[in-house]
Amino acid sequence: RISKIPYEEIGAEKLSELMHAFYKRVSQHPLLIPIFPEDFTETIRKQIQFQTQYLGGPNIYTEEHGHPMMRARHMHFKITPDRAQAWLECMAEAMDEVGLDGKFREIYYKRLVMTAHHMVNAPNDHE
């Protein structure tokens, strides 16, 4: 299994399940509600495209939207350390819900932690 790229390991169906479980939580999180749209349809669609290529699958995000430049695309939003933590908690719970575990989950989650911290562009309000 080590020879398989991570995208093939999770598969399109499970990735979609994960993203739906994730945004269900994001849409209910008091720290995240204010910065996200009410309708998550497009957000989920783009995130599935991005995660597909992030995990080594086809570059379907770039094909439609151009270079990811993820930090730049997040600059319109106040991404505080607390919001990064909230985002990651929603992801960990979503991974539990869809039953992602083992080495794959460990590596994927660690990578998301690094990317989430990289997105931070504002201090917490109380600081």
- Largest alpha-carbon pair distance within the chain? 46
Please report how close the Cβ of residue 68 comes to ligand HEM at its closest, in angstroms.
Answer: 7
HSE value, Cβ hemisphere, 13 Å, CA-based, for 113: 8
Check binding of 7 to ligand HEM (CB under 6 A): no
Considering only 87, 90, 95, 100, the residue that binds ligand HEM (CB under 6 A) is 87
State the DSSP code for 100. Answer: -
Query: 60-77 burial by CB neighbour count: b if 16+ within 10 A, else e?
Result: ebeeeeeeeeeeeeeeee
Radius of gyration of the chain (CA): 14
Q: Nearer to ligand HEM by C-beta: 3 or 50? A: 50
- Of 73, 89, 92, 98, the one binding ligand HEM (CB under 6 A) is 73
As measured in angstroms, the least distance from the Cβ of 37 to ligand HEM is 5
- Give contact residues for ligand HEM (rule: CB under 6 A): 35-37, 42-43, 46-47, 50, 54, 65, 70, 73-74, 77, 79, 83-84, 87, 112, 115-116, 119
